Every structure is written in structure tokens, then in C-alpha cells.
């Protein structure tokens, strides 16, 4: 699938897959930033995308950055709707005890493009029975 990418800032880089079987393409910082401990900063990628109709862009943490630098998207998973044409921004939160720096060109998150369904929600008086039933948090194990 081809995805059109508009470069909005001089230091922007197109998303890049790290390996032939990577599900997520790395997103890069187009501007530097300092993220104090326990705080969140919006990091500009300098790009906008034109996702195909019926797909969504999901922004996830990069595992190495989350584990080694305590930095991960503040909203856990960002959602880019296929009709959004603005700049992709990543809200990075510093979960650590020390300030962290983001430099221009750093990989800050990963973008996964996935299909989605649009549901027609219909009110019902009953729902089908399942083994789990109404069991909620923690009901299927420890």
C-alpha cells in the first residue's frame, strides 16, 4: 500500500520500517525537546500523512525507548483517523526520575497502519450468552 506523506518541516524524515517484517514504521522528531521527569511534551514529527480510506494510523511506543529511557506516548496509543491531514505530533511522557532530551532525528514512536470497521450501534434488550458472561477485570485468571 502506498501512503502519501507531506513534509512540513525542514528536519522531518519519512517513516521507516526497521526490518522487512516490522509492523510499525519509526517516526522521527523534527525538533528537539527536553522532557522533565513526570511531564509530557508534544514532539513534532514534521510530517502529515494521507492514510487510505478504511485504515487508521496507530502510534505506539518504541520498546527500547520505553524500557531504557522511560519515554512513551502519554495516551498509550495515538489514533490518526484516515481523514486527518495535520501534522503528526507525539505526546511523549517521561515516566522516569530524570529529565530526558529528544534530539532532531531521534526515533520517538512507531506508526502501525491497520484496517478498521465502522459499526452501526443498535440498542438491544439482551446480549448472547458466553462462558465468560459479565466477568470483568481479572475474571479470567490471576
Ranges of the chain whose pLDDT falls below 50:
none
pLDDT at position 14 is 98
- 46-55 tens-digit pLDDT: 999 999 999 9
In a domain, 135, yes or no: no
Closest CA to 95 of 68, 113, 119: 68
Locate cell 511531564: which residue? 39
25: domain CATH number is 2.70.40.10
Does some domain include residue 128? no
pTM exceeds 0.75 = yes
Residue holding cell 494510523? Answer: 57
Instruction: Look at the chain and report how many structural domains it folds into.
Output: 1
Q: Is residue 76 part of a domain?
A: yes
- Grouping H, G, I as helix, E, B as strand and the rest as coil, residue 13 is coil
Amino acid at each position: 500500500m502506498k501512503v502519501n506523506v507531506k513534509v512540513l518541516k525542514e528536519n522531518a524524515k519519512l517513516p521507516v520500517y526497521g526490518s522487512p517484517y516490522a509492523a510499525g514504521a519509526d517516526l522521527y522528531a523534527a525538533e528537539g525537546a527536553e522532557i522533565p521527569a513526570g511531564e509530557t511534551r508534544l514532539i513534532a514529527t514534521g510530517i502529515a500523512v494521507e492514510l487510505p480510506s478504511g485504515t487508521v494510523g496507530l502510534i505506539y511506543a518504541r520498546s527500547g525507548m520505553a524500557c531504557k529511557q522511560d519515554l512513551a506516548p502519554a495516551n498509550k496509543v495515538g489514533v490518526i483517523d484516515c481523514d486527518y491531514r495535520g501534522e503528526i505530533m507525539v505526546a511523549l511522557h517521561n515516566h522516569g526520575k530524570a529529565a530526558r532530551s529528544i534530539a532532531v532525528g531521534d526515533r520517538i514512536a512507531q506508526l502501525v497502519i491497520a484496517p478498521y470497521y465502522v459499526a452501526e450501534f443498535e440498542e438491544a434488550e439482551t446480549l448472547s450468552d458466553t462462558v465468560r458472561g459479565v466477568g470483568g477485570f481479572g475474571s479470567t485468571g490471576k
